């Protein structure tokens, strides 16, 4: 939470800052585990890591009795969507988002930190979509850009029929630093890795701004 402009003015995240100013800030909390996969399970299951009765490949695994936030919202009548890398295991392998309460999902089964920024393909409703612009190691289609567009499309498709619950997984590892964002931090006396992370956060903030604009366009943003 301290990586954003409302906590550190050196980081340029105006859209996230606007959310922080008009919404609720959670500043006293902890991640479920220092292990990213287990922390992700905690978020999905709403449980502490020691509450997992089942482990798979050294990581906590979702069980049928684990009620995810997606399931709770779906049961309450929401259209539920998940965009981005899932990376949550079940007892027999990857847990499927569609079996965990999500009507729509686009992403990969990879954990967030392992998914490449320019994948050869992603899954859309369980079926692979090839990114031909990324064939043979090319870098023509950034997964993050595709996910943001799909998130905006999910809102447009569903807002007239149902209230919306959309879970979007952003990752600084999935957003390569570009010259435009790096230029914003060129004068900072920071290590290059810190500058790259700040640039990735600024680009993610830009994408959040696109989603906020879509909510404004369909009159769903109070």
- DSSP assignments along 18-47, one per residue: HHHHHS----S---S-SSHHHHHHHHHHTS
Q: How many CB atoms lie within 10 A of CB 58?
A: 9
Query: Where is average pLDDT lowest: 94-98, 109-113, 166-170?
Result: 109-113
pLDDT tens for each residue of 105-156: 999 887 655 678 899 999 988 889 999 999 998 989 999 999 999 999 999 9
Instruction: Quote the CA–CA distance of 114 and 174 in Å, as a whole number.
Output: 9
Tokens at 42, concatenated: 């905690």
Mean pLDDT of 204-211: 95
Q: How far apart are CA 211 and CA 149, in angstroms?
A: 9
Across 61-149, the runs of DSSP E, i.e. the strands, are 79-83, 89-90, 93-94, 104-107, 121-124, 127-130
Most confident of 32-41, 48-57, 109-118, 145-154: 145-154
Report d(CA 80, CA 28) in Å as an integer.
28
78-89 CB burial, b ≥16 within 10 A, e <16? bbbbbbbbbbbb
Say what the pLDDT of residue 111 is: 62
Output the pLDDT for position 55. 63
d(CA 108, CA 126): 9
**Which DSSP string corresponds to 129-168?**
EE-GGGGGG-----HHHHHHHHHHHHHHHHTTTS-EEEEE
The two tokens of residue 92 are 């027999």
Q: Residue 1 contacts by C-beta under 8 Å, 6 or more apart in sequence?
A: 7, 25, 26, 27
The enclosing H or E element of 60 equals: strand 59-60
Is 35's pLDDT higher than 90?
A: no
- SS3 percent helix, strand, coil of the chain, rounded to 5, is 40, 15, 45
Phi and psi at residue 200, to the nearest 5° = -65, -40
């Amino acid at each position: 939470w301290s990586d954003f402009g409302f906590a550190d003015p050196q980081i340029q995240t105006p859209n996230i800052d606007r959310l922080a100013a008009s919404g609720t800030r959670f500043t006293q909390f902890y991640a479920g585990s220092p292990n990213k996969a287990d922390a992700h399970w905690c978020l999905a299951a709403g449980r502490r890591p020691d509450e997992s009765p089942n482990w798979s490949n050294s990581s906590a695994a979702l069980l049928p009795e684990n009620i995810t936030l997606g399931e709770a919202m779906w049961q309450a009548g929401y259209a539920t969507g998940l965009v981005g890398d899932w990376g949550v295991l079940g007892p027999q392998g990857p847990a499927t988002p569609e079996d965990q309460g999500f009507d729509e999902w686009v992403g990969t089964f990879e954990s967030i930190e392992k998914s490449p920024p320019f994948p050869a393909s992603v899954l859309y409703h369980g079926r692979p979509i090839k990114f031909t612009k990324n064939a043979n190691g090319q870098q023509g289609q950034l997964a993050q850009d595709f996910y943001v567009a799909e998130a905006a499309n999910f809102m447009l498709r569903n807002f007239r029929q149902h209230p919306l619950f959309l879970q979007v997984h952003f990752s600084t590892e999935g957003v390569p630093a570009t010259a435009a964002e790096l230029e914003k931090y060129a004068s900072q006396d920071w290590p290059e890795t810190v500058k790259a992370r700040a640039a990735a956060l600024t680009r993610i903030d830009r994408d959040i701004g696109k989603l906020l604009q879509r909510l404004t366009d369909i009159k769903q943003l109070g």
